[in-house]
Structure 1
């Protein structure tokens, strides 16, 4: 299929030194409510080797909030697309079975996300990340939108592969604004998970469940809560909260 003029502009914005804003340009070219790209740094792995997605760029802010929601809950179309290696297209979340993503679906509705289409950034067995499009819930992707999204996913995959150095790190090349190496915040989640695991004497999986549950119930991002745990402002052992369950703030404040 032929690449549209809008997607040609997006591809130009991906070039090092272009000074373009690929998230904003992609959202306009694809005619969707939002676009986000998340990557799996090889140096950051979750419990038992599960990759932790890092938001690379998003537009508008709703896209970033949806990415955080998926990671906090540990379920959603983006994580499924990355795991199985094929696109997950759900342009109308009202038509999705309630038991498919039981925690995500009502939360996405409250957030104002009506439809999501996710494309894995992968080559062979390598899972590099995911491209997520937010849809308006009123229509499916047209043939042109679908072709453009696949073109963008292929271009992003190639770019990420070219920017990985032999040590397995994401390389910033000559455009660190688009492909950053510093400031990846998921690492603090894994560190916090390990600390909670030790505090509670439980598995990493159970510790991550506890961390996610607390973040969701307190309406905070997983990263924010993890930072409190790592900074020792929040503990999950020894002293429980007023209802007998949950973390404790060493300074006496609310956990």
Structure 2
């Protein structure tokens, strides 16, 4: 960890021009400054939907996708509670805490994970997740620096609320990382006459039942290969050839 890396990251924590609200800083440099292997930032959009704004490629992005698909993990826990979660050794976590997540997260090579809320007046706007392959607590200096980065991120996003405004206004979200999921949840909400939150639950349940990535199932919904009927318990209707 170097002070110069942290200074550069803090200086560049602002939305990149034309990025739709994406953070402009180098995620790899941020991870290096904080003494971890990867970092990711997701913001909450309401009704259980989140959007990945910024991450190091590989394990951090995969962990975010896994948590989003399953709807559980340290990130969703922080988003719901607004309280930081520290897991210095993921292999020692009780199986019942995140039963669908733990085995897959460990298989990704995640040994430790630390999640901090992007908090504004008690409201959690999103979560910054730090992950490391090696188990062990985050050093006190690194934790203090992580809070500095989190606060700077929160300030940058509050000053540029485009991700939330675009989604709330139902504007084009094609530039979003999870654009297909946002669109699919809206379609399911109409097809099944349920709330957006319930639509996302049904989408997740279908993906989990068939062992498929959530984004892949969402693509099927958007392409109208899968249709969620207006009922409570039946399997969604499928048009064309299934891919699972």
TM-score of Structure 1 vs Structure 2, range by shorter chain:
0.7 to 0.9
Q: Helix, strand or coil: the match of 1:5? A: helix
Relative to structure 1, the CA distance from residue 105 to residue 17 in structure 2 (aligned partners, 3 Å threshold; closer, same or farther) is closer
Tell me if structure 2 keeps the 8 A contact 1:85–1:122: yes
**Which of 221, 227, 242 is the aligned partner of 1:229?**
221
Tell me if structure 2 keeps the 8 A contact 1:91–1:139: yes
1:13 aligns with 2:16: no
The higher radius of gyration belongs to 1
Deviation at 1:200, TM superposition (A): 5.3
Relative to structure 1, the CA distance from residue 27 to residue 249 in structure 2 (aligned partners, 3 Å threshold; closer, same or farther) is same
Q: Helix, strand or coil: the match of 1:130? A: strand
Q: Helix, strand or coil: the match of 2:83? A: coil
**Which of 87, 91, 110 is the aligned partner of 2:88?**
91
TM-score (ref. length: structure 2):
0.80
Q: Please report the RMSD computed on the Cα atoms of aligned residues, expressed in angstroms.
A: 3.0
Look up the match of 1:146: 143
**Which of 98, 115, 119 is the aligned partner of 2:116?**
119
Look up the match of 2:204: 212
**Which of 14, 21, 35 is the aligned partner of 1:31?**
35
**Which of 85, 107, 112 is the aligned partner of 1:110?**
107
Q: How many aligned residue pairs are there?
A: 229
Relative to structure 1, the CA distance from residue 201 to residue 82 in structure 2 (aligned partners, 3 Å threshold; closer, same or farther) is closer
Tell me if structure 2 keeps the 8 A contact 1:92–1:139: yes
Q: Helix, strand or coil: the match of 1:103? A: coil
Q: Helix, strand or coil: the match of 1:253? A: coil
Q: Find the aligned partners of 2:31 and 2:204 in 1 and give their Cα distance.
A: 30
TM-score (ref. length: structure 1):
0.77
1:157 aligns with 2:146: no
Tell me if structure 2 keeps the 8 A contact 1:88–1:117: yes
Q: Find the aligned partners of 1:236 and 1:163 in 2 and give their Cα distance.
A: 35
